[in-house]
Structure 1
Amino acid sequence: MSDVKWIKISTNMFEDEKIRLIEQMPEADTILIIWVKLLSQAGRTNASGYIYLSENIPYTDEMLATIFNRPIGTVRLALETFQQFGMIEIDEHSFISISNWEKHQNIEGMERVKALNAERNRKYRERKKQKLIQNEHDDVSVTSRDGTEEEREEEKEKEKNKDYSSKIKDLLPVFSPINNFNQLNKKYWDVIRETRKTGKVSESVIYNAMYKWQKYDPVVIEYALKAHIELHAGKKEEYTIGIMRNTRKEEAKERLNLNNTIPFKPRKAANDIDWEGFDLSD
């Protein structure tokens, strides 16, 4: 994902009781600088508040000390303090995430940028449309050639989707321990496609997400999908990975038992993949 170019820091930041307590600690200024650097790093990672080198490699204390250019001892003290105060969470795999990350995102600013980009795209499409109209008058053959190229691109896209559909089918047996996985998976991607303006999710996106799920226990996967459907609709598929990463098998099993049957809300039929066509019994 592309990084967030700015984050939001409140003017009342230094009135927060946690910040006030930190200010009374040794090396308080350095610890506060590390806090701001963590927020900035979370913005660059842009994964719902997570901070990592890659999706499979968390930052170690030594790595953070190097990229923040601060002593390792101070970095460790800062992380312990932030975790104790509930400002960050560190999961069992050592992945760091900012608590309540949403309040540090400049939602208003990002919405303005989206609006400007939408207007820019609208004007571009209008100019392109006018240019095509003029080309039709000037040279009919140009339009004909463009149409042929578009058809070729559509054919290529269809072939690409066929390849990923086959890959998805090969992945499905991995999830066979999950009861009614086809139905659950279909409902999950119905929710995810509502986060797209087009209302569609490509097979390549579905395959890449499901490929990442493999490393988690089936109970954790089942819980994460159901939790996302009912509690986090509107968030993209990366958020589901965060749920899986931060949920232990025992926790997932307990929560599923407490909510033995999650009443799925009726949604539009998926227009991407015919999940009923896949058989998990093989």
Structure 2
Amino acid sequence: MSDNRKYYYLKLKENYFDEDAIVLLESMQDGILYSNILLKLYLKSLKNGGKLQLDENIPYTAQMIATITRQQVGTVERALQIFMKLGLVEPLPSGALYMSNIELLIGQSSTEGERKRRARLALQEQKALPKAGADK
């Protein structure tokens, strides 16, 4: 049996923290805390295509988000309201929250893909090495 796992990761652009919504968010009282919560929510939503759900049928509540982000419920509730006003999070009809623009931030890989990538890189590096005795 293969041990080929999928990995999801965030790809943040170099200017992510210079975007208007993030600058506004971080300029608020507790803004750095909200920014941290936002990044944790992005990470939590990766494998669900941007939806904040425990599983297919159970959307995360503010209490659940507070638990997984290790923050107080009131802080999370305020953060979610601000995220919605800034267009960073959208409520879905199912009750789940959707992380806006997540498709621009999602990277995906697998252990097999990483192995192949390393093998290609090693082959390219080997081809780039000068041959021994070629200058004689």
| Distance in 2, Cα, partners of 1:37 & 1:14 | 15
| Distance in 2, Cα, partners of 1:67 & 1:82 | 17
Q: 1:25 aligns with which of 28, 34, 40?
A: 28
Partner secondary structure for residue 54 of structure 1: coil
- Contact persistence 2:8–2:106 (CA under 8 A): no
Aligned runs of 1:30-41 on 2, under 5 Å? 30-41=33-44
TM-superposed CA distance for 1:66, in Å, is 0.8
Q: Which residue of 1 aligns with 2:113?
A: 114
Aligned runs of 1:238-257 on 2, under 5 Å? none
Name the count of aligned residue pairs: 115
CA gap of 1:65–1:119, structure 2 versus 1, over 3 A, is: closer
Higher relative contact order (CA 8 A, sep 6+): 2
CA gap of 1:119–1:72, structure 2 versus 1, over 3 A, is: closer
| Distance in 1, Cα, partners of 2:112 & 2:17 | 29
| Distance in 2, Cα, partners of 1:84 & 1:55 | 26
Q: Which residue of 2 aligns with 1:223?
A: none
**Greater strand content:** 2
Unaligned runs of 5+ in 1: 121-282
What is the CA deviation profile of residues 120-151 of structure 1, one whole-angstrom value per residue up to 9, with x for unaligned ones?
A: 8xxxxxxxxxxxxxxxxxxxxxxxxxxxxxxx
CA gap of 1:55–1:3, structure 2 versus 1, over 3 A, is: farther
Q: Which residue of 2 aligns with 1:102?
A: 103
How much is the aligned-residue C-alpha RMSD, in angstroms? 2.5
Aligned runs of 1:28-107 on 2, under 5 Å? 28-43=31-46, 46-106=47-107
| Distance in 2, Cα, partners of 1:15 & 1:112 | 33
Identity fraction in percent: 29
| Distance in 2, Cα, partners of 1:63 & 1:73 | 12
Structure number with greater Rg is 1
What is the CA deviation profile of residues 86-132 of structure 1, one whole-angstrom value per residue up to 9, with x for unaligned ones?
A: 1111113320111122111126xx39963745998xxxxxxxxxxxx
| Distance in 2, Cα, partners of 1:42 & 1:64 | 11
Runs of 4+ residues deviating >6 angstroms: none
TM-score under structure 2 length normalisation: 0.73
TM-score under structure 1 length normalisation: 0.37
Aligned runs of 1:1-282 on 2, under 5 Å? 4-43=7-46, 46-106=47-107, 110=109, 114=113, 116-117=115-116
**Greater helix content:** 1
| Distance in 2, Cα, partners of 1:96 & 1:3 | 23
